[in-house]
Structure 1
Amino acid sequence: MGALQGRVVVVTGAGRGLGREHALLAAAEGASVVVADTGAAPDGTGSDPSVVEAVAAEITN
């Protein structure tokens, strides 16, 4: 049983970098994970939902 079994974890900025790693680790430890990210570029421009969708797919597969 994982350390976060039965818990819900919300990770903002889950599309890239540390947020992504935190989301994956929480899922690996048994948490239900809510991933949130606008998919903006590092300079804050644009929006790409496929970034966070890829993380969600990695968690659910």
Structure 2
Amino acid sequence: MPDRSVFRPDEFSDRLETVRRYLEHAIAPETKLASAVRLRMHGEIKLKDWLPFKAEQVIC
């Protein structure tokens, strides 16, 4: 069974050409892949008026 913890471009050969090219451009072969990401956001959101907001999301 292949090691899923590193990026291997050949595992994406069945994807659309544009997707495969982007991944190969953005991620070097054998790069360790993250199992989670923490996103922090801030800005303004319009709820009748523009209000400030902060948010944090963890995706595993």
Shorter chain as denominator, the TM-score bin is under 0.3
Q: Return the structure number with greater helix share.
A: 1
Which one has the largest radius of gyration?
Answer: 2
Output the TM-score relative to the length of structure 2. 0.25
- With the length of structure 1 as denominator, give the TM-score of the two structures: 0.24
Structure with larger RCO (C-alpha < 8 A, sep 6+) = 1
Structure number having the greater strand percentage: 2
